[in-house]
Amino acid sequence: MRVSVNYLTKNLVEFFKILRMAGMSFSVSDCITAVESLEYVEIFNKVQVKAALQACLVKDETGREIFSKVFDLYFVPLAVRNEYVANRAETIETLKMEIEESVKSLNFQDTQVELTDEYKEIFAGLPESEKINLESFLNTTSAGKNVRAEFKQLAEGTVKGKLTSLKQKYAQQLIQTRGILTQDTSEAGIIAAEVSDEILKANDLLHRNIGEINSEDVPAAVRLISELIENLKRELSRKYRKTGKKKRLDFKKTIQSNLSTGTVLFKLKYKNRLHSKSKLFLFCDVSASMLQFSSFVLQFISGIGKEFTTTESYLFSDDAIRMNNRLYYDLSDFETQVKSSPIWGKGTNIGVSLNGILDNNSVIINSSTVFLIVSDAKTLDYNLAVNSLKELSKRVKRVLWLNPVPEKNWTGIKGLEDFAKYCTMLDCSTLERLMVACRRL
Amino acid sequence: MDLITLRRSLEAENYIFDEEFLITVHIALKLGKPLLIEGAAGVGKTEVAKVLASALGVELIRLQCYEGLDESKALYEWNYQKQLLSIQAGLAAKANLSDLYSKEYLLERPLLKAINSETSNVLLIDEIDKSDEEFEAFLLEVLSDFQVSIPELGTIKAKSRPVIILTSNNTRQLSDALRRRCIYLFLNYPDVEKEIRIINAKLPGVPERLAKDAASAVSYLRQNSRVYKKPSVAETLDWVSSLLAMDKNRLDEDGISKTLGLLIKNREDMLEIRKDEGFSELLDKKPR
């Protein structure tokens, strides 16, 4: 009996480990509770065991999906699981070899180009025609006149740049080779990776860089953006609504209403507080560096315009112009209007654009304004931009900055650290990051 | 209560459930942990608490959460009118006023009522996501130790552990600390088959064809991403009741046009449904 208990414990511990590797988060005390819960169900009834463990370990909807998939893969007869793991490990090893073999064709003057695992995976997943293009580029460059071996680094840089842009073009296709080279081939690693991959594929749009969203994904992206904007709206109204918790006593009314009880303060009367509603001010970058995100940006502005009736919207690049709110209801009209505006695709000057707003007496920004900037923060004259932002932050309730550049790359943007002092800067590089940002507001 | 008894008690309440639901509730009861139920509005989260209280034969104490909810509304408040009157009377009679902060002057709000109750009860903390984060943090003591602290009286421990049920529509993320203390249950809209069973259980005598048609139509509306406010289970039951009152034994255009307002509650959704060919096809297929 002791042996079987140990075997069950070992299995459960391994199961908890896989759940964590697949992205679930739970404490040791949750694990203990989960084991305890098995006392109250029939241990040989798979449905009951699954429900009991799920009740104790799962804490949200995403976790539920991960749990279910891991459970179904893990709790199968041992022989079936071993066979599955062995087959999968073999497939992964074969894929790893194929990827390594594939990049051997990328040579500069008979020396293999050095690429990181990520670039190797991208190359291996490309269509043959693109691979041939890259190979012939290297062959031509290698054979050029006066081309020395030191030029290899330069050629490598070009290949990496090309692979980065191809990653965007073939995003859907490249899912097949993503993460293969770093894949753990232990039993836990294989099951966790299988589940994570399935979930990633199902929610691919959510995790994809917003600049990589293709035209065929736009309807699905619009639905997601609408949900996100709905969240944003809820969060903003929640955070800035007066809760009425700290009411001020109205002494005059209190004494008046308690005259009948000999001024014993039987009923307290409070002063009514005015309900202050936040107004959203959208300030959106449509300069050249933002063009890659234009599909997202246009949908976002349109969505915000429809959801927030009190929105003022301005587009900017080297100057700022006001958008007509009535246009939001027809996206194609709106898109035409934006793209034909004189600031579309120009250079960025946040300072000048912001000053245009701050100095304009007809623009109403005050202590109930939530100022929402959508920009990659790449600007000319960043000192001016920082000062304008500082001035703005004094005049409005809050400045929120949605940045489509991933947070890990922010260190490379000049002046961004100073901008962040006067606003809440949030990463919106993927819809998933935007969703997280909305929750952090 | 063992699993079989719980199953029978819930069945006796005409509550339709699956094995996952039953096991989760059973585990929460056995481990004495709060049950956190999440799911879209209208899937029947609040109903779980009502049915459970009825099945366990105990009182249901409900705390409806909202923004700005604080201790004085949720836990206790001193009855200061009574205190003032006692002071006035006491001064006149020169009585001892040292017990002004005793239980006699305490106004019990739902949380304290549930903790102080001599018998077990079901405490429903409804729509916890609507409350503020401070209130959520305040709840942690109740959820983990089944006790509350009142500065003037000290710590009050539960005389009989209440069954705590929290519901959330997920309008904001709940803290990990709160989630960690709870057993989790996610409720989804019922599928067609389950909805037919719910209709039959709650509205005995509904023609089989009508129940099936209504459940299919509601399922279709819930899957339509353009419909903003999805019909709830309660709305389905109201709708079927009204169709029944019109002597309908199947779903037809006349019934739909006269009763759609019971199912769809905003103008945009109404327009969307009226121009939705898929929904019309659902009706056209019916034999005349």
Which position has the token pair 């879209």?
A: B40
- Give the Å distances, CA to CA, from A211 to A122, A214, A222, A293, A405: 17, 8, 14, 5, 9
Predicted confidence (pLDDT) at residue B28 exceeds the cutoff of 90: yes
Q: What does A289-346 look like in DSSP terms, one character per residue?
A: GGGGGHHHHHHHHHHHHHH-TT-EEEEESSSEEEPPGGGGGSHHHHHHHHHTSTTTT-
Q: By the 8 A CB rule, do A377 and A354 touch?
A: no
Nearest of A279, A281, A277 to residue A358 by alpha carbon: A281
Q: What pLDDT does A31 receive?
A: 92
B3 CB within 8 Å of a chain A CB: yes
Residue A160 host element (H or E): helix A152-169
DSSP letter at A263? T
Contact B27 A56 (CB under 8 A): yes
**Average predicted confidence (pLDDT) for chain B:** 86
Whether residue A32 lies within 8 A of chain B, CB to CB, comes out as no
pLDDT value for B171? 76
Q: How many angstroms separate the CA atoms of B106 and B123, rounded?
A: 20
Confidence grade of residue B124 (pLDDT, cut at 50, 70, 90): very high
Using an 8 Å CB-CB cutoff, list chain A residues near B175. none
Q: Among residues A399, A407, A410, A400, which one has the least CA distance to residue A427?
A: A407
What pLDDT is stored for residue A288 in this prediction? 80
pLDDT given at position B91: 65
Report the Cα–Cα distance between both ends of chain A, in Å, rounded. 53
B175 in reach of chain A (CB within 8 A):
no
pLDDT at position B14: 86
Of B27, B81, B171, the CB nearest to A55: B27
Mean pLDDT of B150-178: 87
* CA–CA separation, A350 and A225 (whole Å): 25
Facing A243 at nearest CB: one of B24, B30, B68: B68
Among A166, A215, A195, A235, which residue's Cα sits nearest to residue A434?
A235
Contact between A189 and A183 under an 8 Å Cβ cutoff? The reply is yes
What CATH architecture is A223-241+277-440? 3-Layer(aba) Sandwich (3.40)
Q: What is the mean pLDDT of each run of 10 residues along chain A (441 residues)?
A: 64 90 88 92 91 92 88 88 86 87 83 85 86 85 76 83 78 73 79 79 68 64 67 61 60 77 76 65 84 73 68 84 68 72 84 89 82 87 89 88 84 83 86 71 56
Nearest to B216, CA basis, from B279, B269, B287:
B279
Answer whether residue B195 shows pLDDT above 50.
yes
- Out of A299-313, A398-412, B147-161, B202-216, which region has the weakest mean confidence (pLDDT)? A299-313
Chain A positions touching B70 (Cβ under 8 A) are 245
Size of interface A-B (CB pairs under 8 A): 84
Helices (DSSP H) in A320-413: which residue ranges?
331-339, 350-358, 382-395
Nearest Cβ partner for A37 among B3, B27, B81: B27
Strands (E), A122-246: none
Find chain B residues with C-beta within 8 A of A47's C-beta.
Answer: 19-20, 23
Of B217, B23, B259, nearest in space to A54 by CA: B23
Task: Flag whether residue A61 sits within 8 Å of chain B, measured between CB atoms.
Answer: yes
What whole-number distance in Å separates Cα of residue B97 and Cα of residue B118?
29
Contacts of A64 in chain B (CB under 8 A): 184, 186
pLDDT at A330: 61
Q: How large is the angle between the packed helices A78-103 and A117-125, nearest 10 degrees?
A: 90
Sequence-separated contacts (24+) of B47-52 with Cβ below 8 Å: B47/B15, B47/B233, B48/B165, B48/B167, B48/B187, B49/B122, B49/B124, B49/B126, B49/B165, B49/B167, B50/B124, B51/B10, B51/B13, B51/B15, B52/B10, B52/B25, B52/B122, B52/B163, B52/B165
Q: Could you read off the pLDDT of B45-94 as tens digits, one per residue?
A: 999 999 999 999 999 999 999 888 888 888 888 887 888 888 777 766 66
- Measure the CA–CA gap between B267 and A351, rounded to whole angstroms: 44
Q: Which helix (H) or strand (E) holds B83?
A: helix B80-93
Quote ipTM for the complex. Answer: 0.84
Q: B19, B21, B27, B180: best mutation site toward chain A, by most A Cβ within 10 Å?
A: B27
